[in-house]
Structure 1
């Protein structure tokens, strides 16, 4: 058996290539949208991708299953569980609980594992030349290492009211059934640490059923369904706004993008024309360089592993936008954007000093300067971290406005006061700072050291 774990650090998303080398065929589970990685794996290992599968209708990334099937001629195998409202709306081979898919000498058996979503399925793998006993289970967003999938995304991100408690109870029952699997089976989940699909995902890529029964909190509640539901729903991170669009696009027919696009490097005239026509500018440079000089109105979203998530929070799918990025980073940024369907890139520039614009600078302050503002009547301190982080401990007197929803809550920022923003260690604060400056808040300072430095130096924290 051939096996390869493909991991996208930017979305903490896992996909899998499993092949039968004797027959030269392979299956891909939960493919990312830039499919060249799978084509190259298959080529290097003399495999033909004949089957493409998904564990559920994903909300956090745009799945590349259809692109992969279109290029390779593979068949799509997707869930037909969950009821009428949870059916994929394009041609596929439907899978129900107990259905088996044969790929050469391999068999994958379908388990209906609802809770995260009603149609969620897992795949139990049997490698027949080695044994007729199952060896792996691919759980998607059902069971993670140390955690389980959250059932509140449908309501919080996609607006499907009334689904949270029902999903939580379904997940509780699915967990009970999952615990009946042999303890030696390897667990390969759809996400790792850093994903917004859970609150405490482990950093290691895989586990076993037995390990999860011992260490995963979800298996410790026994007959206490109410306690399980309460803990499951408490403290979940805010789901990015783009999740609703992902859930839609992964379900319905859409144009396919079978190659990584190449966006143009714009000359001065073309960039300024687009900029003056109102296109947003996403500056992907690091926060230190941004602070030294930035295009007025530009938004600083650093091109690190969180780049696509924050773009998905800040931009809509209807608007074109421009990038500020180094030439060497453009392909990586393009891949990160296409994985969430953000395809409306007009182009990019790498040298903002050549544009002839009067650049602005950021007002970044250190901890000693920041202390002078704490408790001052004419100052508003704004903590832009997540709600659970704020509740766990914050600076005295700080208001909470999460950076992802800051644009919808500008009325809570006092223009007549000195505004000082911070997050945990500065990355989210630079996004918030640029958003405020873009929206006419000029009396803003950024305490970049954030809660990390504040606590390290033993300053007061309240709950």
Structure 2
């Protein structure tokens, strides 16, 4: 058997390529939208990808399953669990087998048995792998998707918080409790291959180790230590991170079927006048992806700055709207990676790229960055309004007495006083820089952020 995992560090998402070396067939589990590197890895091993499967309808990225089926003719194995709201509806015209609890399918001499493991979502399934090619008669491991992570389990509140389906958080938590009781019956030696690692918003305390075992999770995963259902439900739903705004759209896209990418090219602008002309069009957002230290004093009027790093996809998902067309300020060398990152969460509407050099000929805005001492001094002015843009958990651990909690992800639509000078901070200064660009794009005249954020503030008080 051939086995290789692939991790998208921007989304902390794991995909798996499993191949039977005797027959040359292979399957991709939880494929990302951009999968050419996975197909190349298969080809390098003398394998051909003949199948693909998803553990559930993903909420945090666009699945590549439909693209693989349409573009490469692979057979899909998809869950048929859950109610009518969680059925795949893009299966016409493609080779697909729908899976229920107890279903099995094989890729060459490798067998996969389906477990229905609801909790994160109603249709979630896990796959027990048995390698008959090596003579095995029992499973060696389980692909758990967003059911069991290293040190955590999938959050059950996304349908309610992101998709607006009332009451599903509690029922999902109870489903998760029952799924865990069943998981405990598995042999300790089984390898656990999860769908995500640390950095994903699909759980609250995911580990960064890429794999685990059933026995290890039984002993050390917090969710396996609570034997009372009511206590488990309370603990699972407590302190879950904010559900990113784009998750509802991802659920919809992956259920109805994402657009098939055709290799379309994105134009690169060649002049400041072109950039300004596009930026003036209706429903166009200029997205500046330069480092905040550069962009903060050099913002194109109306643009927002989300630096292109590992957090880019998350904050783009929060702050960019799906009805907006994008003009992206990005170095030429990063254009392809940037396009892939946006398309991985369904932003296909990229009008053009613009090299940062074009900003020399456009209208500019800036915000100020203050030391902790200068920030605190500014707070004494009655005309200031202090924004803390951290998440709920950080705010609850401690905050400035005069601060107003305004989470970054909702800042483009948050109601704010128009006659105040805005003072912004986060935990370390990274998110407050993004927030400051959003506030400048909204037209606020005076915006100042705290260098080093709340960490720097607490350091001065110790």
Q: Is the 8 A contact 1:67 1:258 kept in 2?
A: no
Q: Corresponding residue for 2:455?
A: 452
Q: Is the 8 A contact 2:385 2:422 kept in 1?
A: yes
Q: CA deviation at 1:139?
A: 0.5
- Which segment drifts farther, 304-313 or 414-423? 414-423
Q: CA deviation at 1:387?
A: 1.1
Q: Find the residue that maps to 1:371 and give its secondary structure.
A: helix
CA distance in 1, matches of 2:253, 2:193: 25
- Work out whether 1:361 is the aligned partner of 2:366: yes
Q: Corresponding residue for 1:226?
A: 230
Q: Corresponding residue for 1:11?
A: 11
Q: Corresponding residue for 1:208?
A: 213
Q: CA deviation at 1:352?
A: 4.2
Q: CA deviation at 1:373?
A: 3.1
CA distance in 1, matches of 2:249, 2:440: 28
Q: Corresponding residue for 2:182?
A: 177
Q: CA deviation at 1:395?
A: 2.1
Q: Corresponding residue for 2:49?
A: 49
CA distance in 1, matches of 2:363, 2:162: 39
The two structures, once aligned, show a CA RMSD in angstroms of: 1.4
Q: Corresponding residue for 1:77?
A: 77
User: Unaligned stretches of 5+ in structure 2?
Assistant: none
User: Which stretches of structure 1, 4 residues or longer, exceed 6 Å deviation after superposition?
Assistant: none
> What whole-Å deviation, never above 9, does each CA across 1:392-418 have from its counterpart, x for those lacking one?
111222110001011221x2x223232
Q: Corresponding residue for 1:116?
A: 120
- Work out whether 1:168 is the aligned partner of 2:173: yes
TM-score of the aligned structures, taking structure 2 as reference length? 0.96
How many residues align structurally? 455
Q: CA deviation at 1:258?
A: 5.1
> What whole-Å deviation, never above 9, does each CA across 1:294-344 have from its counterpart, x for those lacking one?
211110000001111111111121221111110111111111011011011
Q: Corresponding residue for 2:302?
A: 297
Q: Corresponding residue for 2:426?
A: 423
CA distance in 2, matches of 1:446, 1:244: 31
Q: Corresponding residue for 2:26?
A: 26
CA distance in 2, matches of 1:262, 1:452: 43
- Work out whether 1:142 is the aligned partner of 2:147: yes
Q: CA deviation at 1:452?
A: 1.9
CA distance in 2, matches of 1:446, 1:262: 37
Q: Is the 8 A contact 1:295 1:352 kept in 2?
A: no
- Work out whether 1:90 is the aligned partner of 2:93: no
- Counterparts of residues 429-440 of structure 1 (less than 5 Å): 429-440=432-443
CA distance in 2, matches of 1:354, 1:406: 25
TM-score of the aligned structures, taking structure 1 as reference length? 0.95
> What whole-Å deviation, never above 9, does each CA across 1:187-230 have from its counterpart, x for those lacking one?
011111011101100011110000001110100002x1111111
Q: Corresponding residue for 1:59?
A: 59
- Which segment drifts farther, 1-10 or 37-46? 37-46
